[in-house]
């Protein structure tokens, strides 16, 4: 029987006790939470029975290593301890249990745990000695989740609730990272610093508080007295250096994941994975179907985000936030999202483009005017003048309106035959660009004026002057601090910079995301 046939028409929570089923139904998908379960088999003997007694399950709503890419439903099987005290923890993604492969949550948990029992029984001696994790890391022992059989031949264990939903903590993150990347030489057990001869008022270390190193100790350090601040810094440096020497990749991954334990919502994985799948592959030549799917995936993400703060928190889940955090800017996402709106408009998919723009504006308020304006220019070029005028009015009324918005407004006016209004806007914006010393916008605005006036024979002399001014403005954009030799592949002299081309300032961003939005 195939897993698809096995799962058809089944209740995914069938066979679970009421408390377990109830807890899974209310899984806090936006929180970083864990649920602890126990499994019990009634038909095992010998080594399989002994290993089975050591297995526990933690269902996670958040994958500490999710920023590294999609991973299996059985996120990890981590071994702790040795001798009679060793234990095995199976980590499972709650989002995967929404659509169990076998058809039921009990079946999926049973398949994963049965693999652990089978492999563990063969390697029981290594589990007891504490050598199993090192051997598995060197491919000298089979992985505990390497014998998963998704069928209905194995007897599923009974499932019991051990602890309800609670926050994922640093030790849990460490277990998941070590199961994936090997042992990290760090002890997260909270411990106090030295006892002072004369306690300082208000110092948590003088008070005898215990701290996990390095993160909890680092958070508490500013409130400490000077001697304890120095001791804390030395202890943090010792632990960090020790861990980096033992497992640099594992330590870096642990620091990245632990930093994301700060209280913040995270993107539910079905939304996250759909969006990441949609942006993989070529972005310039999507078929209409793929472009539509990318737009719908983006809309689902934006519906979740709703605010810039939630979007910024979600960048960790997309793997698009620097490890040092701090900045609320999300240039990679904003560039991708803006490009979806632009390509929809270019393809004439204006209804969908409008939905994307209207969903982007609340989470990208600094780009609101130019999102509206770009769509307005595309609508006007396609002859949808009423819609274009409504959209450009929204752009001009937005606090983020800038010189780029004025250019879009001029394009809408020109497309509607309002040539005097277009010229007025271009010249007013040109005066502002010159006042601000922005040669890039000066060049772009002069280009628009040349295009607008070049067919008017009565203004031929004026057009010649505008072309000369445009070329001078373009030259100022590329004035080097030191003499350079331009290659033939550089931007041709005097050419208008396309909004989706790299910004000539050298930032690495597209023009519309750099000087095109300033």
- pLDDT for the residue numbered 509: 53
pLDDT at 322 over 60: no
User: Distance of alpha carbon 303 from its chain centroid, rounded?
Assistant: 15
Question: 262: buried, middle or exposed (CB in 10 Å: 19+, 13-18, 0-12)?
Answer: exposed
- Arithmetic mean of pLDDT, 446-457: 87
Whether the CB-CB separation of 112 and 76 falls below 8 Å is answered with no
Among 224-233, 453-462, 476-485, top mean pLDDT goes to 224-233
Task: Convert the pLDDT of each residue in 391-427 to its tens digit.
Answer: 999 999 999 999 999 999 999 999 999 999 999 999 9
What is the gyration radius of the CA atoms in the chain, in angstroms?
30
Task: Convert the pLDDT of each residue in 175-208 to its tens digit.
Answer: 999 988 888 989 999 999 999 889 999 999 999 9
pLDDT at 517 over 60: no
Whether the CB-CB separation of 111 and 46 falls below 8 Å is answered with no
The SS3 call for residue 78 is strand
Pick the more confident residue, 425 or 506. Answer: 425
User: ω before 214 within 30° of 0 (cis)?
Assistant: yes
Residue 328, token pair as written in the block? 């609320």
Which backbone phi and psi does 33 adopt, to 5 degrees?
-130, 160
pLDDT at 484 over 80: no
Whether the CB-CB separation of 63 and 175 falls below 8 Å is answered with no
pLDDT at 385 over 50: yes
- pLDDT for the residue numbered 507: 54
Whether the CB-CB separation of 270 and 301 falls below 8 Å is answered with no
Whether the CB-CB separation of 492 and 461 falls below 8 Å is answered with no
In angstroms, the CA 239 to CA 237 distance is 6
- pLDDT for the residue numbered 508: 54
- pLDDT for the residue numbered 233: 94
- pLDDT for the residue numbered 282: 54
- Arithmetic mean of pLDDT, 132-161: 82
From residue 508, give the alpha-carbon distance in Å to each of 88, 212, 476, 489, 511.
Answer: 47, 41, 19, 16, 9
In angstroms, the CA 207 to CA 223 distance is 12
- pLDDT for the residue numbered 490: 42
Residue 295's pLDDT band, with cuts at 50, 70 and 90, is very high
- Arithmetic mean of pLDDT, 421-439: 90
- pLDDT for the residue numbered 255: 87
- pLDDT for the residue numbered 325: 46
In DSSP notation, 468-515 reads HHHHHHHHHHT--SS-----TTSPPTTPPPPTTSBPTTSSSSBGGGTG
pLDDT at 73 over 60: yes
- pLDDT for the residue numbered 159: 94
Residue 25's pLDDT band, with cuts at 50, 70 and 90, is very high
- pLDDT for the residue numbered 477: 67
- pLDDT for the residue numbered 397: 96
Q: Which pTM does this prediction carry?
A: 0.68
- pLDDT for the residue numbered 259: 78
- pLDDT for the residue numbered 461: 87
Query: 10-24, 90-104, 270-284 — which is least confidently predicted?
Result: 270-284
Task: Convert the pLDDT of each residue in 81-116 to its tens digit.
Answer: 888 889 999 999 999 898 888 889 998 999 999 999
- Tally of residues, the chain: 518
- pLDDT for the residue numbered 496: 44
Residue 455, token pair as written in the block? 């067919």
From residue 493, give the alpha-carbon distance in Å to each of 103, 467, 498.
Answer: 64, 12, 14
Task: Convert the pLDDT of each residue in 149-176 to its tens digit.
Answer: 766 555 678 999 999 999 999 999 999 9
SS3 content of the chain, % helix, strand, coil (to 5): 55, 10, 35
In angstroms, the CA 432 to CA 420 distance is 19
- pLDDT for the residue numbered 299: 96
Please, what is the average pLDDT of the chain? 84
- pLDDT for the residue numbered 481: 44
User: Residue 76: beta bridge partners?
Assistant: 91
pLDDT at 389 over 90: yes
User: Residue 91: beta bridge partners?
Assistant: 58, 76
Percent pLDDT > 90 in the chain is: 50
pLDDT at 260 over 90: no
Pick the more confident residue, 190 or 287. Answer: 190
The SS3 call for residue 160 is strand
In angstroms, the CA 362 to CA 308 distance is 7
Reference 272, options 294, 295, 297, 307; nearest CA is 297
- pLDDT for the residue numbered 470: 84
- Arithmetic mean of pLDDT, 376-388: 96
In DSSP notation, 217-266 reads HHHHGGGS-HHHHHHHHHHHHHHHHHHHHH-HHHHHHHHHHHHTTSS---
- pLDDT for the residue numbered 460: 86
In angstroms, the CA 509 to CA 490 distance is 16
The SS3 call for residue 450 is helix
Strands 87-93 and 55-60 come out as parallel
- pLDDT for the residue numbered 463: 84
Percent pLDDT > 70 in the chain is: 85
Residue 456's pLDDT band, with cuts at 50, 70 and 90, is confident
From residue 188, give the alpha-carbon distance in Å to each of 170, 214, 241, 254.
Answer: 8, 8, 15, 12
Whether the CB-CB separation of 415 and 379 falls below 8 Å is answered with no
Residue 410, token pair as written in the block? 């001029």
Angle in degrees, CA 392, 394, 395, rounded to 5: 60
Residue 119, token pair as written in the block? 């492999």
pLDDT at 271 over 80: yes
In angstroms, the CA 239 to CA 372 distance is 51
């Amino acid at each position: 029987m195939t897993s698809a046939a096995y799962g058809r028409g089944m209740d995914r929570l069938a066979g679970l006790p009421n408390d377990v089923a109830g807890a899974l139904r209310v899984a806090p998908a936006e929180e970083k939470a864990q649920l602890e379960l126990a499994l019990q088999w009634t038909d095992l003997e010998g080594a399989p029975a002994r290993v089975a007694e050591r297995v526990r399950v933690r269902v996670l709503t958040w994958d500490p290593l999710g920023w590294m890419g999609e991973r299996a439903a059985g996120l990890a099987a981590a071994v702790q301890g040795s001798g009679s005290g060793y234990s095995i923890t199976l980590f499972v993604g709650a989002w995967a249990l929404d659509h169990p492969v076998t058809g039921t949550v009990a079946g999926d948990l049973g398949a994963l745990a049965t693999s652990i029992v089978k492999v563990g029984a063969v390697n029981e001696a290594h589990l007891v000695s504490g050598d199993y994790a090192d051997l598995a890391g060197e491919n000298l022992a089979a992985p505990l989740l390497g014998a998963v059989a998704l069928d209905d031949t194995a007897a599923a264990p009974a499932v019991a609730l051990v602890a309800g939903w609670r926050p994922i903590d640093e030790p849990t993150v460490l277990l998941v990272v070590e199961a994936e990347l090997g042992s990290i030489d760090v002890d997260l057990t909270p411990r106090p610093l030295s006892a002072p001869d004369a306690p300082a008022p208000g110092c948590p270390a003088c008070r005898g508080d215990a701290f996990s190193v390095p993160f909890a100790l680092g958070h508490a350090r500013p409130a400490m007295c000077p001697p304890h601040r120095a001791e804390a810094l030395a202890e943090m440096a010792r632990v960090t250096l020790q861990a980096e020497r033992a497992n640099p990749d594992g330590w870096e991954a642990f620091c990245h994941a632990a930093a994301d334990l700060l209280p913040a919502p995270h993107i539910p994985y079905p939304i996250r994975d759909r969006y990441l799948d949609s942006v993989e592959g070529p972005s310039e030549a999507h078929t209409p179907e793929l472009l539509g799917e990318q737009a719908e995936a983006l809309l689902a993400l934006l519906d979740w985000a709703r605010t810039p703060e939630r979007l910024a928190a979600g960048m960790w889940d997309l793997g698009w936030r620097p490890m040092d955090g701090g900045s609320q800017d999300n240039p990679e996402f904003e560039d991708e999202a803006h490009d979806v709106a632009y390509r929809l408009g270019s393809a004439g998919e204006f209804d969908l483009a409008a939905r994307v723009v209207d969903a982007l504006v609340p989470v990208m308020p600094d780009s609101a005017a130019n999102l509206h304006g770009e769509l307005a220019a595309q609508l006007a070029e396609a002859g949808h003048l009423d819609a274009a005028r409504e959209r450009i009015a929204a752009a001009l009324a937005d606090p983020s309106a800038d010189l780029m918005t004025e250019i879009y407004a001029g394009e809408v006016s020109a497309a509607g035959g309002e040539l005097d209004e277009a010229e007025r806007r271009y010249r007013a914006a040109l005066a502002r660009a010159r006042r601000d010393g922005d040669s890039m916008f000066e060049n772009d605005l002069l280009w628009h004026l040349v295009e607008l006036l070049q067919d008017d024979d009565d203004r031929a002399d004026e057009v010649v002057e505008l072309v000369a001014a445009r070329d001078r403005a373009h030259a100022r954009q590329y004035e080097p601090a030191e003499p350079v030799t331009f290659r033939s592949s550089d931007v041709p002299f005097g050419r208008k910079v396309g909004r989706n081309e790299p910004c000539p300032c050298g930032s690495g961003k597209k023009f519309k995301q750099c000087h095109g939005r300033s």
